[in-house]
Amino acid sequence: MTSGFVDAGIQVVAGIDNDPRCQATYEANNPGSTFLLADVCELDECCFEKEFGLRKNDDNLVFIGCSPCQFWSIIQTDKKKSSKSKNLLHEFRRFVEYFQPGYVLVENVPGILRRKEESGLQTFIDELKKRGYVVHYDIVNLADYGVPQSRKRFSMVATRVLDRPPFPTKSSKQKTVRETIGKLPAISAGTKDETKFAHTAAGLSEKNLQRLQKTKSDGGSWLDWRDEPGLKREKYTGSEFKDNYGRMYWDKPAPTITTKFFTVSNGRFAHPEQDRAISIREGALLQTFPADYEFKTTSMASSARIIGNAVPPYFAKKLAEAIIEGRKNAGK
């Protein structure tokens, strides 16, 4: 979100996260924006007045809440690990009610809307409306807004400054994998790029390399070798999990870039032609990070976690531009 808003011309005062592994990457790419390493549940509302000079009822102030959302995801994961973060929307609400900023943005998984009573979303929206905000929210596929991947998200924009919430218009056509990563140099599985570009690809076991060699280019899947002795997956005989070990399609948006995009066994994350998973840089580009965005981490998994968990910067930029345009049209 910071990257996209800054690119649109909006000053980002600070970003808050309790994960120290994000700090070096945030600070390296967002000079002028403070990384506040903190648990928002333990922060007092007035700390932003003292630390950053924020004012209450500032029409120019934008609050953005992108809390961890695994608990509300429809993906079958261990919910015990994510249960601690399930109520972060309540914590965000504290700050919104204290400062009453001109704009409030929330980005999350679609599941937060499907369970809006339990997640606190309905209460949050009702309180915004009581305070004079107009609210727009929807489940959107970011492929419709210029992001080269199919990524469905809950997106909400509320404002007490304009008559209607600003929101981006859809793109005229979807952007493809080929347009995004088609011109990058060919590399092999296990390539380690020591430069800031990080065109680094995970290694493959001999069996998985043979599997990819048997997988058709441009959208092939494990069904291409399901009956091959020594290669077939013993537990799967039908079309279950058909995207695992699958190749991306050149002329379609990518599938959702998750935190595991650098491994072929976790989804359709194999390169359309080359026998490897997509690289760290390819995943970042498909998430619309700038080509010069630097990931200051100690492992591929850490970089992939930052990339996969991010709001695509291009969509963030479109949200910011919609706010700017809405203010301009209203003469604010």
Enumerate the active-site residues.
Answer: 69
Task: Identify the burial level of 185 via C-beta atoms within 10 angstroms of its C-beta, where 0-12 means exposed, 13-18 middle and 19 or more buried.
Answer: exposed
Beta-strand relationship, 134-141 and 103-108: unpaired
Contacts 24+ apart (CB under 8 A), 22-27: 22/306, 24/296, 24/297, 25/294, 25/295, 25/296, 25/297, 25/306, 26/2
35, 21, 19, 16: which is closest to 296 by C-alpha? 21
266, 265, 263, 259: which is closest to 284 by C-alpha? 259
Q: Which parts of 115-191 fold into alpha helices (H)?
A: 116-119, 121-130, 177-181
> Is 153 strand, coil or helix?
strand
Q: Where are the strands (E) in 180-265, listed by range?
A: none
Beta-strand relationship, 134-141 and 152-159: antiparallel
First to last CA, the chain: 23
Question: What residues contact 312, with CB distance under 8 A and at least 6 apart?
Answer: 4, 142, 147, 149, 151, 287, 288
> Is 298 strand, coil or helix?
coil
Burial 51-79 (b: 16+ CB within 10 A, else e): eeebeeeeeebbbbbbbbbbbbeeeeeee
